[in-house]
A and B are shown apart, each in its own frame.
Chain A
Amino acid sequence: MIFHRQAPGVRRFLGDLLRDDAAADEGTQETFVRAHQRLGTLEQPGALTGWLLGIARMVFFEQLRQKRRDGAQKASHDEDDDRPIQIDRAPDPEAMLLTGESNQMLDTALQTLSEDRRTCLLMKLDHDLPYGDIATAMGWPLQKVKNEIHRARLQLREQLLPYLEGRT
């Protein structure tokens, strides 16, 4: 069943974007209701995950707009978007395995990314979508998707490095 296979991923995706469990639950329900209504528009059954995450992204933006109207949340900033980031160290696999806080560390690092950048990075790393499916879900050209994911990765690594201190 589609729900049982896809819902945990959609819920986690929305949880990563919204940072609010109740809102993520609500968003997951809304995503599947909309998916049910629009199932006929799914052109490639193989692209189901990307299609669902695309709907979830729209739901996220609606919730975000609502939250901002309510003044409950500040907008994320893209201040350092184009700041060059040079990561010249590799993560230490042992350090990564030893830390018991990897999920929390990852969550914190993800929050430093802008919404769009976080969204496409999650689609790639957490949901393993091909770049083409991400481009469709985001409504972006393929090259932009690759650039954004590349920048997102560098930002993420910069955040993670202190935790995963390693030397090449």
Chain B
Amino acid sequence: MTGHPELDELELLAAGQGTDEIQKHALECAECAREVAWLKAEKTLFARRARPDVSALWSGIEARIAAKPLAPVLSLARRPRWQRPVAAVAGFAAAAAVALFFFHPKTIAPRPQPSIAQLQPTPAPAVQGQPKPRSHLDPKTLAALDTAEADYRHAAGILEAEYETLRPKLDPALAKRWDETLTRARTQLGESRAVAADDARARMRVLDGYAEYLRSLRDVIQDSEEATP
């Protein structure tokens, strides 16, 4: 061998994968032997480093993933004034879409829902003579639906809190309209969830409803941000 081997070759040697030729050279060349000793020392030092415990981080990631599509909206630059009515209309339309999305069971009286984050799955009311369709999905799928729903609730809770901070600065009439729209959406969402019980297809529709609700909240917040000085 003429000259010194490349660093990559010495790295392989330090990792125990060097060729015989490189190994022979390293035995005869003090400079390369020193380099290999350092490469091995580096590997040893870094291999000893502690593995951080990250188990507590996952729940935060899940929540952020659920809320993330909404996050950029919260920090959007203010739009021109002429766009505000458009945003308001779009926001109300999106909120109304929640109502259209769900079938509205007339057998259940509407009841106020204080916060979407407080919504919990409740057993379906018994309807005589009409057996509820049962899911053909396995418990894991239903558990996944539970998780997704919990994520949506968490994201909604974050956005509702955001809206609460902006609300006092809003025009009272506008705030009242938003409150009514969101309350109506929450009520219908809660009712649909109660009826869905553990029917997988109905649960999927509930998740779609949550997505619509989040979009509505996003629009409300966006408009609120623009409406506040």
Assess whether A7 is in contact with B54, with CB atoms less than 8 Å apart: yes
Residue A75 interfacial (CB < 8 Å): no
Q: What's the nearest-Cβ distance from chain B to residue A11, in Å? A: 4
Residue B38 interfacial (CB < 8 Å): yes
Q: What separation, in Å, do the CA atoms of A90 and B26 have in the docked complex?
A: 13
Render B38-78 as a binary contact track against A, CB cut-off 8 A, 1 for contact: 10111111101111111011101100110010000000000
Q: What separation, in Å, do the CA atoms of A4 and B43 have in the docked complex?
A: 23
Render A143-168 as a binary contact track against B, CB cut-off 8 A, 1 for contact: 00010001001001100100010101
Residue B93 interfacial (CB < 8 Å): no
Assess whether A33 is in contact with B34, with CB atoms less than 8 Å apart: no
Q: What's the nearest-Cβ distance from chain A to residue B201, in Å? A: 26
Q: How many residues of B contact A (CB 8 A)?
A: 29
Assess whether B41 is in contact with A91, with CB atoms less than 8 Å apart: yes
Assess whether B68 is in contact with A33, with CB atoms less than 8 Å apart: yes
Assess whether A164 is in contact with B54, with CB atoms less than 8 Å apart: no
Assess whether A12 is in contact with B41, with CB atoms less than 8 Å apart: no
Known interface pairs A33-B65, A93-B37. Does A126 touch B49 (Cβ–Cβ under 8 Å)? yes
Which A81-113 residues have C-beta < 8 A from chain B?
87-91, 93, 96, 102-103, 106
Residue A29 interfacial (CB < 8 Å): yes
Chain A interface, >50% SS class: helix
Assess whether A90 is in contact with B65, with CB atoms less than 8 Å apart: no
Assess whether B68 is in contact with A126, with CB atoms less than 8 Å apart: no
Q: What's the nearest-Cβ distance from chain A to residue B211, in Å? A: 16
Q: What separation, in Å, do the CA atoms of A16 and B11 have in the docked complex?
A: 23
Known interface pairs A90-B37, A96-B45, A168-B34. Does A15 touch B52 (Cβ–Cβ under 8 Å)? yes
- Interface residue ranges, A against B (CB under 8 Å): 3, 7-8, 11-12, 15, 25, 28-30, 32-33, 36-37, 87-91, 93, 96, 102-103, 106, 125-126, 131, 146, 150, 153, 156-157, 160, 164, 166, 168
- Interface residue ranges, B against A (CB under 8 Å): 7-8, 30, 33-34, 37-38, 40-46, 48-54, 56-58, 60-61, 64-65, 68
